[in-house]
Chains A and B, each alone.
Chain A
Amino acid sequence: MKDRHFSCVVIGVSAGGLNALTVIFHGLSADFPIPVVVVQHEKSDSEDLLAELLNYKTDLCVKTAEEKDTIEGGVIYICPANYHLLIEENRTLSLSVDPRVNHARPSIDVLFETAVSAYGKELIAVILTGASSDGSTGLRQVMDNDGYAIVQDPATAYSRIMPEAAIKACRFPDEIVPLEEVSARLNDLCRKGYSL
């Protein structure tokens, strides 16, 4: 058993995302101590309503990520449509209009790769439902850097393609959990003094 201390959760989700995020955010404890940063694939011209919608579902503060936001504990940051979301090593957020990655902007891989540089083994990365393979490479890098990888059980996913691709890419993610249990796991992992 070793003590683990986590400083950030990153989540990647695509098709079926609104429902999955609603379930998870609803279950996060009101004193959830660390930041949550989310990339959800969206139609490129959709307005940034997601954060507003999700704000009603949780006790935590949900906001659309803005460039140079300082990442704060207990806040959920949602990527705006049509921009990549990156985490700087000084733990602030950046947006970019770089070309699409895996046909996607925002791309989950871009968020995960930069989150690894910023948080290393203090990172928890979660791949949820989706009909693409975005996020697999990023999740693999999270594991290679001793971060903690969670994948939604494909059987509970609206679309199983993304979780399956992620499991295949990392072979043995730390956990494969049903959607309903993801938030409970996150609550546990981030509780002070929790040992794996």
Chain B
Amino acid sequence: MISGNEERDNENLEINLLIRAVKEKYGYDFSGYSRASLKRRIKKSLSESDADSISSMIHRIIYEKEYFHNLLLNLSINVTEMFRDPGFFRSIRDEVIPVLAELASIRIWHAGCSTGEEVYSMAILLKEAGIYNKCQIFATDFNQVVLEKAKEGILPIGNLKESTRNYQKSGGRGSFADWYTARYDFAVMKSVLRKNILFADHNLVSDEVFSQVDLVMCRNVLIYFDRPLQNRVFKLFSNSLSHGGFLAIGSKETIHFSSITDEFEKFSTKQKIFRKKI
């Protein structure tokens, strides 16, 4: 009989091998991701597929691209919403945008943009502030499936009520309905919002910096990374930002334990918005 501990160790061994196979075969490196959540998602994929063990998943990952791509979808958590944490967007609207408005041109990078809700929320703020036309927005994710959805700018109709409420809570004074066209069971974000957004595949684990960015927004992505990986990504952001540029992260994320803390100062009292020192 094998003990509970041995069973757990065996499972961890299988998971390590799976991570290694994914990395060597497809180049996606999950070794720096928080393990408990990753393990849950691998086991969830296992229960949804007809593989009977993590080891047999590895075989299919190696031999079936399609199987891997489904797994990848499960491993990247894409939960997002329009104006998620309205208080955060209120700070962007009231505190950050007035500073950005002073610049001749503005570059913004959304890292881990998922299906685009965060980027479109931002685009609405920029439109309403009248500075959209001088903005170049980069929206990146390492998952091509969500990027395609982001490009389409489609919102499920069921989310509209919540989105409208969030829009208002974030200080929106116009009508949220002006920014989308409602169809039968979905809504499409207006194409004027998309005009200056460039959607691109970018992996925070392995890809390089952007240059001279004025605002980096990366929310609810770092929470999935261990400290060394967080540190790598923070350095990437710091190197991408121009002096005086802003770094906005999720409400439960922190830069305190990273090597870039000294390069930044707290900008907002309530929100996780930091400013690169000049």
The CA-CA distance from A119 to B267 in the complex, in Å, is: 40
Contact at A96–B5, with CB atoms within 8 Å? no
Contact A94 to B36, CB < 8 A, known contacts A67-B253, A99-B79: yes
A134 at the interface (CB under 8 A from B): no
Residues of A within 8 A of B39 (CB): 117
Contact at A88–B254, with CB atoms within 8 Å? no
Interface segment out of the listed A21-29, A55-63, A79-87, A186-194: A79-87
Q: What number of A residues sit within 8 Å (CB to CB) of B?
A: 25
Contact at B252–A83, with CB atoms within 8 Å? yes
A114 at the interface (CB under 8 A from B): yes
Residues of A within 8 A of B227 (CB): 68
Q: What number of B residues sit within 8 Å (CB to CB) of A?
A: 21
The CA-CA distance from A110 to B36 in the complex, in Å, is: 10
Contact at B35–A97, with CB atoms within 8 Å? no
A121 at the interface (CB under 8 A from B): yes
Contact at B79–A120, with CB atoms within 8 Å? no
Chain A nearest CB, measured from B16 CB (Å): 12
Contact at A95–B252, with CB atoms within 8 Å? yes
Residues of B within 8 A of A66 (CB): 252, 254
Contact A121 to B4, CB < 8 A, known contacts A67-B223, A67-B253, A80-B252: yes
Q: Which of A121-158 contact B (CB under 8 A)?
A: 121, 145-146
Most chain A CB inside 10 Å of its own CB: which residue of B8, B39, B227, B252: B252
B10-23, CB under 8 A of A: which get 1 and which 0? Answer: 00100000000000
Chain B nearest CB, measured from A81 CB (Å): 10
Q: Which 9 A-B pairs have the closest CB atoms?
A: A86-B36, A114-B36, A94-B34, A96-B37, A88-B36, A97-B220, A145-B4, A120-B4, A98-B77
Selected A-B contacts with CB under 8 Å, 5 pairs: A67-B253, A89-B8, A98-B40, A113-B40, A114-B36
B binding-site residues for A, Cβ under 8 Å: 4-5, 8, 12, 34-37, 39-41, 77, 79, 220, 223-224, 227, 252-254, 257
